[in-house]
Amino acid sequence: MPSAHDATVLLGHGSGGQMMKRLIDEVFLEEFGSPELLAGNDAGVGTLTGTGRIAMSTDSFVVTPQFFPGGNIGRLAVCGTVNDVATSGARVRYLSCGFILEEGYPMDDLRRIAHTMAETAAEAGVRIVTGDTKVVERGGADGVYINTTGVGEVPAGLELSGANCRPGDVILVSGTLGDHGIAIMSQREGLAFSTDIESDAAPLNGLVAAVIEAAPHVRCFRDPTRGGLASTLNEFAAASRVVMEVDEEAIPVRPEVRGACEMLGYDVLQVANEGKMVAVVPADEAQAALEAMRGARYGENAAIIGEVRELADGREPSVRVRTGWGSSRVLDMLVGEQLPRIC
């Protein structure tokens, strides 16, 4: 099995699965292993003397095609970083933006992307305050790559982390899964379905704030992007040393997305999302959290999908899926690549 010790980077190293985790562990955490990074959360929380705590997150976007049903790479670049910072509970304030452009990229397309980014930032209530642009020779990039970094203020007393999950807690998801990954794949491969499938890319900082207000003891949030729900729940399980158990029939999936996954041979629980949020909350706050999600923009299809279970002696943390047949299966992280370059 490939590892981070390979002579070259492979596509699977960006999959959100096991190969990507090894790359992060063996290369980046080995070199950059600050306590904030080692916590394994989407946004690192630091302290500025006299100004309280901040949360920061950075991400790079290399999706192809750059324009797809429901959005474009610019909307992804804003939503992805806003949502990562929001998982810390922070009030997201500012974004930086870096472009790597290929010589010959159409200026009209670049303007469309920039306009979408401005609209999405305004929707999220954040400002793009700094940036950078580089141009490489023809063939040196696939048109345009974008990096965004976000900064937010963490309210006093809020300590959200994937290591906070406790047996008895309840797992929620803010809406239907797999929409983004299948929208990208259908556009890329020219696939036609009976119903249009669009990307779910959306800023979720408002939804996160609503859940925190309704469920003040929420344990953690995570947006299930690369690697999908499978990677998110496995990361929670490993960080908290628990078993995450979900009910397959309770997980919201659009019929057309489920059908596309079955046709293409994908597990919808491993497909990327760009406008969904997973939350773990104490059982006595689960209903309030669910109502807050459903009352927020982009949360109308929110659902309770499972529970956190105690880890039996001698067992490893894991994710289990209860099927409609009364059986259960282990839900692993992706080993390598399933849907390449979807974010």
**Inter-residue long-range contacts of 22-31, CB under 8 Å, 24+ positions, other chains counted:** none
Strands (E), the chain: 44-48, 52-61, 67-68, 71-72, 91-102, 127-136, 144-154, 170-173, 220-222, 243-247, 278-281, 303-309, 318-322, 328-330
Residue type, position 263, single letter: M
User: What are the pLDDT digits (tens) for 47-104?
Assistant: 766 668 999 999 999 998 899 989 999 999 999 999 999 999 999 999 998 989 888 8
User: What are the pLDDT digits (tens) for 13-57?
Assistant: 766 788 778 777 886 677 667 677 778 787 777 776 666 899 999
Q: Which residue has the tokens 């057309």?
A: 256
User: What are the pLDDT digits (tens) for 184-219?
Assistant: 988 877 776 656 889 999 999 999 999 999 999 999
Position 11 confidence tier, pLDDT thresholds 50, 70, 90: low
State percent of the chain over pLDDT 90.
61
DSSP string over 77-133:
HHHHHHHHHHTTT-EEEEEEEEEEEETT--HHHHHHHHHHHHHHHHHHT-EEEEEEE
Position 4 confidence tier, pLDDT thresholds 50, 70, 90: very low
Parallel, antiparallel, or unpaired: how do β-strands 243-247 and 318-322 relate?
Answer: parallel
User: What are the pLDDT digits (tens) for 100-152?
Assistant: 988 888 988 998 999 999 999 999 999 998 888 888 888 888 899 999 999 99
